[in-house]
Amino acid sequence: MNKKELAKKLVDDRLSATDTYHSKLDRINEQYEKDAAELDKPLKWPLVSDTGVALSTYGIVYEIGVNCAHAALIDRGAVYNSYEEAELHDKRRLAEMRVTRRIAGINREENWEADWSNYGQNKHFVVYKRDTDRLRINYAWRVQDKPPHWYGCEKAIKTVIEEMPESCKVMLGVEND
């Protein structure tokens, strides 16, 4: 193959790669448009019956019907099938707030902030090991698969595990048998 043929092949390969890239990008944009359109649709009553219960921001649980449900409650996932379901959600929300406030306080004291561009920095979080029925500390470098306020320095996570194990379990959705 001479230089001219080689140059033509490289140009053709680059064009082919560019076409493939643009094709993938078009598919991603199409999916994005479909997802955005889905988000704009009016919300439907999420419950199995015409009545349910709602959970206020103050933790008050009250009955609500399909005809008087506020879109804001449905948008925020604050409408439930039963009092028990609403109270469990509220209990988890309160536990999460207690735990993550403690994590944030210690992170401030330690002058620690998660830097997701730094793969050498451990971003610690609480995990529950069902086989041993214990809480333990784990860490991530690159993948953030939990809410950002769940991550902390090693000292913060060790502290919440030691000081508030029950709140950590509730936050993680561990049911006590």
More confident residue, 66 or 95: 95
Query: Where residue 69 falls among pLDDT bands split at 50, 70, 90?
Result: low
Q: Does residue 172 contact residue 125 with C-beta atoms inside 8 Å?
A: no
Per-residue pLDDT tens digits for 133-146: 999 999 998 888 88
More confident residue, 34 or 45: 34
What pLDDT shows up at residue 14? Answer: 76
- Percent of the chain at pLDDT above 90? 41
* pTM beyond 0.75: no
List of residues 6+ apart from 172 with CB closer than 8 A: 126, 127, 128
pLDDT at 126 over 90: yes
Q: Does residue 106 contact residue 147 with C-beta atoms inside 8 Å?
A: no
The residue length of the chain stands at 177
Query: Where residue 41 falls among pLDDT bands split at 50, 70, 90?
Result: low
What pLDDT shows up at residue 45? Answer: 56
